[in-house]
Amino acid sequence: MAPMNNDHVSMAVWCTLIPPEELNRFIEYEDDLRNVSEAYEDWLVSMRGKSFIGADVGVLLDRIRILMINIGIACGMNRALAEQVQGVVSDHLRKRALAIVEELPSNSKERVAVKETLAIFFRDLKFTRDIFPEEDVLGIIPVKVTLSSDSSSGLLGKLVGSKSKKVNVDKKSTLQAALLESSNVLKKLYMRLTSPDPWGTY
Protein backbone atom coordinates (compact mmCIF):
# COMPACT_ATOMS: atom_id res chain seq x y z
CA MET A 1 0.00 0.00 0.00
CA ALA A 2 1.48 3.36 -1.01
CA PRO A 3 1.99 5.82 1.87
CA MET A 4 -0.43 8.72 2.13
CA ASN A 5 1.08 12.19 2.24
CA ASN A 6 -1.22 14.02 4.63
CA ASP A 7 -1.09 16.16 7.76
CA HIS A 8 -1.05 13.15 10.05
CA VAL A 9 1.70 10.93 8.66
CA SER A 10 4.81 12.36 7.04
CA MET A 11 6.26 10.63 4.01
CA ALA A 12 9.62 10.99 5.74
CA VAL A 13 8.67 8.60 8.54
CA TRP A 14 6.91 5.98 6.46
CA CYS A 15 7.83 2.40 7.33
CA THR A 16 5.87 -0.47 5.78
CA LEU A 17 6.49 -2.75 8.75
CA ILE A 18 4.73 -0.40 11.16
CA PRO A 19 0.92 -0.22 10.90
CA PRO A 20 -0.03 3.19 9.42
CA GLU A 21 -2.14 4.17 12.42
CA GLU A 22 0.92 3.78 14.66
CA LEU A 23 3.38 5.86 12.63
CA ASN A 24 2.72 9.12 14.46
CA ARG A 25 4.41 7.61 17.50
CA PHE A 26 7.70 7.56 15.58
CA ILE A 27 7.77 10.95 13.85
CA GLU A 28 10.94 12.03 15.67
CA TYR A 29 12.84 8.91 14.62
CA GLU A 30 13.16 9.46 10.87
CA ASP A 31 16.68 8.05 10.52
CA ASP A 32 16.00 5.09 12.78
CA LEU A 33 12.82 4.20 10.90
CA ARG A 34 14.74 4.29 7.66
CA ASN A 35 17.09 1.72 9.19
CA VAL A 36 14.11 -0.36 10.35
CA SER A 37 12.70 -0.29 6.82
CA GLU A 38 16.03 -1.47 5.43
CA ALA A 39 16.17 -4.26 8.02
CA TYR A 40 12.66 -5.32 7.05
CA GLU A 41 13.60 -5.36 3.37
CA ASP A 42 16.69 -7.42 4.14
CA TRP A 43 14.55 -9.87 6.10
CA LEU A 44 12.11 -10.15 3.20
CA VAL A 45 14.99 -10.95 0.86
CA SER A 46 16.33 -13.58 3.26
CA MET A 47 12.90 -15.22 3.46
CA ARG A 48 12.52 -15.58 -0.31
CA GLY A 49 12.58 -19.17 -1.38
CA LYS A 50 11.88 -20.44 2.12
CA SER A 51 8.73 -22.50 1.94
CA PHE A 52 6.22 -22.40 4.77
CA ILE A 53 4.55 -25.59 3.55
CA GLY A 54 5.17 -28.18 6.24
CA ALA A 55 6.81 -25.60 8.51
CA ASP A 56 5.92 -26.16 12.15
CA VAL A 57 5.30 -23.66 14.92
CA GLY A 58 8.94 -23.46 15.95
CA VAL A 59 10.21 -22.77 12.44
CA LEU A 60 7.66 -20.03 11.79
CA LEU A 61 8.26 -18.35 15.15
CA ASP A 62 12.02 -18.46 14.53
CA ARG A 63 11.56 -16.63 11.23
CA ILE A 64 9.51 -13.91 12.89
CA ARG A 65 11.98 -13.71 15.78
CA ILE A 66 14.78 -13.11 13.28
CA LEU A 67 12.83 -10.07 12.07
CA MET A 68 12.56 -8.81 15.66
CA ILE A 69 16.30 -9.28 16.15
CA ASN A 70 16.98 -7.35 12.94
CA ILE A 71 14.81 -4.51 14.24
CA GLY A 72 16.91 -4.36 17.39
CA ILE A 73 20.12 -4.24 15.37
CA ALA A 74 18.69 -1.56 13.06
CA CYS A 75 17.92 0.73 16.00
CA GLY A 76 21.53 0.54 17.18
CA MET A 77 22.00 2.03 20.63
CA ASN A 78 18.40 3.23 20.84
CA ARG A 79 17.12 0.23 22.79
CA ALA A 80 13.95 2.02 23.86
CA LEU A 81 12.96 2.63 20.24
CA ALA A 82 13.77 -0.96 19.28
CA GLU A 83 11.50 -2.26 22.03
CA GLN A 84 8.77 0.19 21.01
CA VAL A 85 8.85 -0.93 17.36
CA GLN A 86 9.01 -4.59 18.38
CA GLY A 87 6.12 -4.02 20.77
CA VAL A 88 3.90 -2.37 18.15
CA VAL A 89 4.55 -5.09 15.58
CA SER A 90 4.05 -7.83 18.17
CA ASP A 91 0.80 -6.31 19.44
CA HIS A 92 -0.66 -6.20 15.96
CA LEU A 93 0.48 -9.74 15.20
CA ARG A 94 -1.19 -10.93 18.40
CA LYS A 95 -4.42 -9.10 17.56
CA ARG A 96 -4.47 -10.64 14.10
CA ALA A 97 -3.74 -14.10 15.51
CA LEU A 98 -6.52 -13.80 18.09
CA ALA A 99 -8.95 -12.67 15.39
CA ILE A 100 -8.12 -15.81 13.40
CA VAL A 101 -8.50 -18.00 16.50
CA GLU A 102 -11.87 -16.42 17.24
CA GLU A 103 -13.14 -17.69 13.88
CA LEU A 104 -12.17 -21.30 14.58
CA PRO A 105 -15.06 -23.77 15.02
CA SER A 106 -16.02 -24.91 18.51
CA ASN A 107 -18.46 -27.73 17.79
CA SER A 108 -16.68 -30.45 19.77
CA LYS A 109 -14.86 -30.67 23.07
CA GLU A 110 -11.49 -31.00 21.33
CA ARG A 111 -12.14 -27.93 19.19
CA VAL A 112 -13.31 -25.95 22.22
CA ALA A 113 -10.14 -26.99 24.05
CA VAL A 114 -7.95 -26.09 21.06
CA LYS A 115 -9.63 -22.70 20.70
CA GLU A 116 -9.23 -21.87 24.39
CA THR A 117 -5.62 -23.04 24.36
CA LEU A 118 -4.68 -20.99 21.31
CA ALA A 119 -6.41 -17.90 22.68
CA ILE A 120 -4.14 -18.05 25.73
CA PHE A 121 -1.07 -19.00 23.68
CA PHE A 122 -1.31 -16.10 21.25
CA ARG A 123 -2.46 -13.62 23.89
CA ASP A 124 0.76 -14.18 25.84
CA LEU A 125 3.13 -14.99 22.96
CA LYS A 126 6.41 -13.05 22.92
CA PHE A 127 7.59 -12.87 19.32
CA THR A 128 10.99 -11.63 20.48
CA ARG A 129 11.79 -14.72 22.54
CA ASP A 130 12.89 -18.23 21.72
CA ILE A 131 10.18 -20.57 23.00
CA PHE A 132 9.46 -24.28 23.15
CA PRO A 133 6.01 -24.54 21.53
CA GLU A 134 5.17 -28.05 22.66
CA GLU A 135 5.99 -27.32 26.30
CA ASP A 136 4.29 -23.92 26.28
CA VAL A 137 1.11 -25.22 24.64
CA LEU A 138 0.93 -28.29 26.86
CA GLY A 139 1.16 -26.11 29.95
CA ILE A 140 -1.93 -24.07 29.07
CA ILE A 141 -4.31 -26.77 27.85
CA PRO A 142 -7.38 -26.63 30.11
CA VAL A 143 -8.24 -29.65 32.26
CA LYS A 144 -11.92 -29.19 31.48
CA VAL A 145 -13.94 -27.13 29.02
CA THR A 146 -17.53 -26.01 28.99
CA LEU A 147 -19.45 -27.65 26.18
CA SER A 148 -22.95 -26.56 25.24
CA SER A 149 -25.49 -29.08 24.01
CA ASP A 150 -25.88 -27.31 20.67
CA SER A 151 -22.13 -27.66 20.14
CA SER A 152 -21.99 -31.32 21.01
CA SER A 153 -25.31 -32.59 19.73
CA GLY A 154 -25.90 -30.62 16.57
CA LEU A 155 -29.54 -30.24 15.59
CA LEU A 156 -30.79 -32.27 18.56
CA GLY A 157 -29.10 -29.88 20.96
CA LYS A 158 -30.73 -26.92 19.29
CA LEU A 159 -34.16 -28.55 19.49
CA VAL A 160 -33.96 -29.34 23.20
CA GLY A 161 -32.36 -26.04 24.06
CA SER A 162 -28.82 -25.01 24.82
CA LYS A 163 -27.38 -26.52 27.98
CA SER A 164 -23.79 -26.53 29.11
CA LYS A 165 -21.65 -29.03 30.92
CA LYS A 166 -18.04 -29.42 31.95
CA VAL A 167 -16.15 -32.17 30.15
CA ASN A 168 -12.63 -33.51 30.59
CA VAL A 169 -10.01 -32.72 27.99
CA ASP A 170 -7.66 -35.25 26.42
CA LYS A 171 -4.40 -33.35 26.68
CA LYS A 172 -2.47 -35.53 24.24
CA SER A 173 -4.90 -35.19 21.34
CA THR A 174 -5.54 -31.53 22.16
CA LEU A 175 -1.81 -30.81 22.12
CA GLN A 176 -1.34 -32.26 18.64
CA ALA A 177 -4.42 -30.48 17.30
CA ALA A 178 -3.40 -27.18 18.91
CA LEU A 179 0.13 -27.36 17.51
CA LEU A 180 -1.23 -28.02 14.03
CA GLU A 181 -3.78 -25.22 14.26
CA SER A 182 -1.25 -22.78 15.70
CA SER A 183 1.05 -23.45 12.75
CA ASN A 184 -1.85 -22.62 10.42
CA VAL A 185 -2.41 -19.33 12.26
CA LEU A 186 1.29 -18.49 12.11
CA LYS A 187 1.43 -19.29 8.40
CA LYS A 188 -1.24 -16.65 7.82
CA LEU A 189 0.71 -14.12 9.88
CA TYR A 190 3.93 -15.00 8.06
CA MET A 191 2.29 -14.73 4.65
CA ARG A 192 1.05 -11.26 5.51
CA LEU A 193 4.42 -10.15 6.86
CA THR A 194 6.05 -11.20 3.59
CA SER A 195 3.39 -9.48 1.47
CA PRO A 196 3.65 -5.94 0.01
CA ASP A 197 0.98 -4.69 2.44
CA PRO A 198 1.35 -6.56 5.76
CA TRP A 199 -1.39 -4.65 7.57
CA GLY A 200 -3.96 -4.29 4.79
CA THR A 201 -7.51 -5.54 5.08
CA TYR A 202 -7.58 -7.71 1.96
Residue 95 counted as domain residue: yes
Mean pLDDT of 88-102: 97
pLDDT at 78: 92
Split into its structural domains, the chain has a count of 1
pLDDT at 148: 73
pLDDT at 86: 97
pLDDT at 151: 52
Domain extent at residue 33: 11-193
Other CB atoms closer than 10 Å to residue 16's CB: what's the count? 18
Check whether 1 has a pLDDT greater than 50: no
Residue 198 counted as domain residue: no
Please choose, from the candidates 74, 57, 66, 173, the residue with its C-alpha nearest in 3D space to the C-alpha of residue 121.
57
Q: How confident is the model at residue 202 (pLDDT cuts 50, 70, 90)?
A: low
Residues 164 and 189: their CA atoms lie apart, in Å, by 34
pLDDT > 70: percent of the chain: 86
Mean pLDDT of 87-115: 95
Could you please report the per-residue DSSP string of 102-146? HTS--SSHHHHHHHHHHHHHHHH--TTS---HHHHHHHH--SEEE
Residue 2 counted as domain residue: no
Residue 148's φ and ψ, nearest 5 degrees, are -85, 155
Q: How confident is the model at residue 30 (pLDDT cuts 50, 70, 90)?
A: confident
Residue 4 counted as domain residue: no
Mean pLDDT of 109-132: 95
SS in 3 state form for 175-192?
Answer: HHHHHHHHHHHHHHHHHH
Residue 5 counted as domain residue: no
User: Going by C-beta distance under 8 Å and a sequence separation of 6 or more, which residues neighbour residue 149?
Assistant: 156, 157, 160, 161, 162, 163, 164, 165
pLDDT at 179: 97
Residue 111 counted as domain residue: yes
Give per-residue pLDDT as tens, 121-177: 999 999 999 999 999 999 999 998 987 765 544 544 444 445 678 889 999 999 999
Residue 127 counted as domain residue: yes
Are 15 and 26 within 8 A, CB to CB?
A: yes
- Collect contacts of 139-145 with beta carbons under 8 A, ≥24 apart: 141/113, 141/117, 141/169, 141/171, 141/174, 141/175, 141/178, 142/113, 142/116, 142/117, 142/169, 143/168, 143/169, 144/168, 144/169, 145/109, 145/112, 145/113, 145/116, 145/169
- Mean pLDDT score across all residues of the chain: 87
Check whether 69 has a pLDDT greater than 90: yes
Name the strand (E) or helix (H) holding 21: none
Please choose, from the candidates 184, 178, 186, 182, the residue with its C-alpha nearest in 3D space to the C-alpha of residue 113.
178
Question: Cα 24 to the chain's mean position, in Å?
Answer: 23
Mean pLDDT of 76-80: 90
pLDDT at 5: 44
pLDDT at 150: 56
Residue 6 counted as domain residue: no
Residues 77 and 84: their CA atoms lie apart, in Å, by 13
Check whether 16 has a pLDDT greater than 50: yes
Check whether 54 has a pLDDT greater than 90: no
